[in-house]
Chain A
């Protein structure tokens, strides 16, 4: 029981990070119907920016950790958002009117570019950060096993919930969110009604990248180890999460992220750690067999 509870906590923390990345996929898919393959690598770039900014702040004398973290968060969100914007502008916008596989190929190309750019500019070796946020609470205590909830896990879940709420308000209550939803339903009609479609799509990428940067920072703080390749696996998992929850649906992305995080954690805890990805991917295949458009996705109605 205690072991189970501990794994549940770990799984939720991991699932929150996947959920944050998955939102970037699901937003972009919802609005322009493409798999933004480079998004996982945007997450990786965000993580590197956060690492560099954090060490930079420490070295110029800002050692008060909460202040440093807030500054790092802002810097990482801003700079990663610029990356997201640029990628859309350079690699996807020229192909907007093209057939569907074209932006997928440029997205794979951008993913290769980002990975290798970071590898070349920052080196291929893993970067380790000493634990920044330490401590935690002991929830339960069995004979030889203590269930602990660390501060970083609390931070991850709280940040995720706060961002989700803010994001949901943004989508649901603001003019920007309205134009975003309009573009999602019918881009042509939205343009006719005066929505600036190009700007909305750019903003989608900006928001997705900013959330990925938050995920990158949380990942860095949680695991303390990053390299140029983390984006690939995390990206695939997050995309799996988005599909699992029903691509295009925001709560679905979060739900999918949680499910993937939990499956992975429980599988590693109770079975073998080597096959945790196999478990997550098999779960995806199983769910899609019974719910072909994901758990919370709207079934695609095809008019003839």
Chain B
């Protein structure tokens, strides 16, 4: 008879061995980096041993691994499927696609109504909600949603791996900042210019990399991103160098400003009491509309010959070429379109922050945007939005958790550990769902049969 007790008993030996080996590896990993802390002193660096911390970490690995061995890997139950993330293929596929569409509509409706409803509730009942923080966080998430959708055109649709997307974001931001500082043009006049300039940079980057494939393309785009950042950092006359550009004007509401003492102020025109939240809400709606436009354009482009050529290019470049598709134009148009939206998002970022410096455009931003696209499930619009909300929202939430201090003691500063958790989350989500959070997508075109979602596995691999 195999009762659960006897199976566990029989497995205890190997489990203990496995846990001991893991603990030994953990000891080797951490013995110097965690077990000893380097302290600066007058005579140079001295070492301060931290044996308790090391023992705790190694112990955690030992018992964690033991528990995994005994209770987790042999479990005979599984998680119930997540209702929001359509996964199954086959019969339920088209309904899953519909479900995703419905979920998308619900999310859009929520995003449109959220600030107004929250604001009205707050003022009507005097709730003192931290609205400012909520709106700022939502604006940040929406900015990344837009960037994700923009990069998705390059990576998800055209299959060109771009590790330097932040360069276009920077070009957009700096174009707006410099034009507005020198000519005093408003946000709305600069927005198209910034987008077009970013698109031109996209084409400029596109030319040398046309012949490159796969990872060569990736490293050149990465290098391009770094070049742009270094130039911004050192070309002090134009970009202000490391000090950046400040006092960038925010977007106006059809000529009305949101300042308290502005000439044409929003609140005076509508006869409302002054509230700094109006400006924030206006920013929220701008980025929401811009993101939705990005989404809409992407969805429409996928039906145009250009979008189909992108997807064909992603699936097989040689077949693409043999069918007479001009791969040069196709690649350049993908780069330019992606860069265009990056540029728009960049000038929005500059207008929102009213201050930009090269610090904001490091490689890590490109990595985060790419992670959002891949974690969302490449090519899936909804997935990108969810991934942006999870990664950026969850990441920001870490900054304000006081509950963690209860666990780790008063000296624990969650802000220090944010990036660590962020990286761990990236690895964990990717291992948990390698195809991204939403791994099905509606094909852009099908022959005769109805529109059915296909598994992400069938979508090309993002080879360049």
Contacts and interface: CB of A to CB of B under 8 A. Distances in A.
Contacts of B37: 121-123
A120 interface: yes
Interface string B410-422: 0000001101101
A109 B434 CA distance: 14
Contact of B422 (A112, A118, A129, A277): A112
A174 B296 CA distance: 58
Contact of B427 (A101, A113, A125): A113
A59 interface: yes
A286 to B, nearest CB: 8
Interface in B411-447: 416-417, 419-420, 422-427, 430-431, 434-435
Interface stretch (A61-69, A176-184, A239-247): A239-247
B130 interface: no
B40 interface: yes
B423 A113 contact: yes
A109 B211 CA distance: 29
A274 B234 contact: yes
B302 to A, nearest CB: 20
A278 B230 contact: yes
A91 B38 contact: no
Contacts of B220: 284-285, 288
Contact of A109 (B215, B371, B461): B371
Interface stretch (A47-55, A142-150, A153-161): A47-55
Contact of A52 (B47, B216, B417, B419): B47
Of B47, B375, B457, chain A has the most CB atoms within 10 Å of the CB of B47
Say whether chain B's binding surface is mostly helix, strand, loop, or mixed. helix
Contact of A112 (B32, B46, B426): B426
A117 B208 CA distance: 37
A99 interface: yes
Interface string B158-177: 00010000000000000000
* Count class of interface residues, chain A: 35 or more
Contacts of A288: 208-209, 211-212, 216, 220
Contacts of A108: 367, 370-371, 426
Contacts of B161: 101, 104
Contact of B234 (A106, A111, A275, A304): A275
Contacts, number: 190
Contacts of B260: none
B226 A128 contact: no
Nearest to A94: B431
Interface string A274-304: 1101100110110011001110000010101
Contacts of A83: 29
A281 B225 CA distance: 10
Contacts of A53: 32
Interface in B314-342: 318-319
Contacts of A127: 38, 40, 45
B23 to A, nearest CB: 13
Interface of B: 25, 28-29, 31-34, 36-38, 40, 44-47, 155, 161, 208-209, 211-213, 215-216, 218-220, 222-224, 226-227, 230-231, 233-234, 318-319, 363-364, 367, 370-371, 374-375, 378, 416-417, 419-420, 422-427, 430-431, 434-435, 457, 461-463
7 contacts: A49-B33, A105-B375, A113-B427, A117-B33, A128-B45, A277-B230, A278-B230
Given A98-B435, A284-B219, A288-B211, 7 more contacts: A56-B36, A75-B32, A91-B427, A108-B370, A109-B427, A111-B423, A120-B420
Interface of A: 29, 35, 45, 48-49, 51-53, 55-56, 59, 75, 78-79, 82-83, 86, 90-91, 94-95, 98-102, 104-106, 108-113, 115-123, 125, 127-130, 232, 236, 239-240, 243, 247, 272, 274-275, 277-278, 281-282, 284-285, 288-289, 292-294, 300, 302, 304
